Chains A and B, each alone.
Chain A
């Protein structure tokens, strides 16, 4: 398919000015023409620059007021005398734009020609235009199976699409301070994955916002969860059936976790939340050895504290540590979903569903507020699911790609709990982030404190979606290692407090500032189940799915 790229014919009215100076590293300076007012130009908007040989696509990173004569600022007549001020403002003052050239655009967009990162700058006096809707579409791709509409550029109705294939190749992150729309955005991204069928997903739904229903706290209303939108593609698991019933939230399966499933490394992760000393946490390994794998926790918790005291010496554990470990682990008894042995093998059930391309959402009910419960369940389930993926991937080695496990995206809120520098080396989440997509598993982490996340993990994140952040350390952490971070920083620091985000990294050809796609109206749900590129309706079963269900029945 050859699409004529008629950027050169952009409409006259959108001419902003001319290139006057600059460099590849620091960006170029545009002298604005008198016909445009600086007040109409917003930072973060796109421009196309018609160089002599190439067109460039860039981002406005600064807007400045300039004068041709520095003495101007000392003169009163420019403000006192309306005639002089009119003359001066139309001749000796001008607006200047700093633009970061991001991409070079091909003259003709063909199958093998794509946009490329800008490796040079446009020549002197090249004309600069406000990017047209078409330009943006050329750059961000049309909505299709892999290109998911995530929002609009500020001031434009064009759709910005994110490349889902790239998104799931490496871990991704959604950052932003509280109430900026992280959960809304993440839910939209997950909807994209569901819609595209490119990967399965597993969501640790700490606050019960993804599955059956979601909350729009600002507008004081409920919004649909993913289960309501994609009935047949999403399974909801709950750790707190009672709470689900109270919320009148439908769920498909209940999840229990048996003491026998807990391993000493789970205890390591909980060191901080349980306030355990290193020695006490390490004692779990000894307990596993002396009391037996799978049985140790159950046996340990059955003991009276005196007995623990007594045996500690024989086990060669510091008595005080054994005692505090016993004391803290006894809290598990108050976690409803923790049982000596679970009624059902939830992990197997989840794996089955994930293997079939379903999406699993695990609701925590009341336990979302219990950090110990949240971390324990998330870590344990992820570890077991990941183990299985490692096995499946290794089995498939050397055979066809079709045997490989389907890509899996694991989504966690409050990610820094699992990925802070103190625990990132021990948790399964840290491993997944570091091993990239070796086993077809990647993370989608959601967090309000990116600075609390281990820098090595941060460096492995492929795509970042940043909502407003107001802490400098968080902004630094988010932008670390990104090219053009100085310019992005200024864009990032001026985001609206809601429903705006800066997306950068692998899934977009260049950093993009968006107004996030609306989520919450009936129309928005319909758009998600019936994207423009697809002909069948996702809410309804496809023929294959029907057939499959029939087979299951008989």
Chain B
């Protein structure tokens, strides 16, 4: 298991929200992360940075600072007032070695540690395209789908055949929705 990135602060069976340990240090959109026992896998579908306290809106303070970085240097408290959160869509779970595509019977616990999935898990995930159906029907932006597929392909020893096969799977999922399919495929090529 690789790097720990944060903890779950909100969860349901469709997905979960993670508070990242470090401001601005979330894995990129579409990355696959995992958490909990049984391990639940999710695809990062949204990344947000906002004030910790929603009642204290942020104001512009850098008018006299020469660079953006100077703002953070002059105001070290910002790191405690802001936080980076991400939401993930659940695509599968595993009990020991049995990997299942689909939604888990229960959501993960709050404060479960969240890790970036390593290649070993990604390869077994990439053996089937069942997760595409979950992503496409979740209402999330199609960009998440293409980002996720690109991420996976980069982790595989030979990514191109994977992209072709995922394209074919998308064509089956999106039958009758050619413009949508076309848009996703363009982002994959």
Q: Is the CB of A69 within 8 A of B176?
A: yes
By a CB distance below 8 angstroms, the chain B residues around A88 are 167, 171, 185
Interface string of B167-189 (1 = CB under 8 A from A): 11011100110110010011011
Is B9 at the interface (CB under 8 A from chain A)?
Answer: no
By a CB distance below 8 angstroms, the chain B residues around A75 are 178, 182
**Which secondary structure dominates where chain A touches chain B?**
helix
Stretch from A17-25, A77-85, A222-230, A409-417 forming part of the interface with B: A77-85
Interface residues of A in 49-83 (CB under 8 A from B): 68-69, 71-72, 75, 77, 81-83
Complex: chain A residue closest to B176, CB-CB: A69
By a CB distance below 8 angstroms, the chain B residues around A82 are 189
Is B164 at the interface (CB under 8 A from chain A)?
Answer: yes
Q: In the complex, what's the smallest C-beta–C-beta distance from B81 to chain A, in angstroms? A: 45
**With contacts A69-B175, A91-B172 known, is A83 near B182, CB below 8 A?**
no
Residues on A lying within 8 angstroms of B by beta carbon are: 68-69, 71-72, 75, 77, 81-84, 86-88, 90-92
Q: Is the CB of B171 within 8 A of A87?
A: yes
Most B C-beta atoms less than 10 A away, residue of A69, A82, A87:
A87
Q: Is the CB of B189 within 8 A of A81?
A: yes
Q: Is the CB of B182 within 8 A of A84?
A: yes
**CA of A71 to CA of B175 in the docked complex: distance in angstroms?**
11
**CA of A72 to CA of B179 in the docked complex: distance in angstroms?**
9
Interface residues of B in 148-181 (CB under 8 A from A): 163-164, 167-168, 170-172, 175-176, 178-179
User: Which bracket fits the contact residues of B?
Assistant: 10 to 19
Q: List 16 A-B contacts (CB under 8 A).
A: A69-B176, A71-B179, A72-B178, A75-B178, A77-B182, A81-B185, A83-B189, A84-B182, A84-B185, A84-B189, A87-B164, A88-B167, A88-B171, A91-B168, A91-B171, A92-B171
Known: A86-B167, A91-B171. 4 other contacts (CB 8 A): A71-B179, A83-B188, A87-B164, A91-B168
**CA of A90 to CA of B166 in the docked complex: distance in angstroms?**
11
List the 5 closest pairs (A to B, CB-CB), nearest first.
Answer: A87-B167, A83-B189, A91-B171, A91-B168, A71-B178
**CA of A90 to CA of B178 in the docked complex: distance in angstroms?**
15
Complex: chain B residue closest to A83, CB-CB: B189
Q: Is the CB of A84 within 8 A of B186?
A: yes
Complex: chain A residue closest to B167, CB-CB: A87
**With contacts A71-B179, A72-B178 known, is A77 near B186, CB below 8 A?**
yes
**With contacts A87-B164, A91-B168 known, is A69 near B185, CB below 8 A?**
no
Point out the residue from A69, A81, A83, A86 that lies within 8 Å of B178, measured CB to CB.
Answer: A69
Q: Is the CB of B185 within 8 A of A83?
A: yes
Point out the residue from A69, A71, A91 that lies within 8 Å of B167, measured CB to CB.
Answer: A91
**CA of A362 to CA of B175 in the docked complex: distance in angstroms?**
70
**CA of A81 to CA of B184 in the docked complex: distance in angstroms?**
13
Q: In the complex, what's the smallest C-beta–C-beta distance from B52 to chain A, in angstroms? A: 43
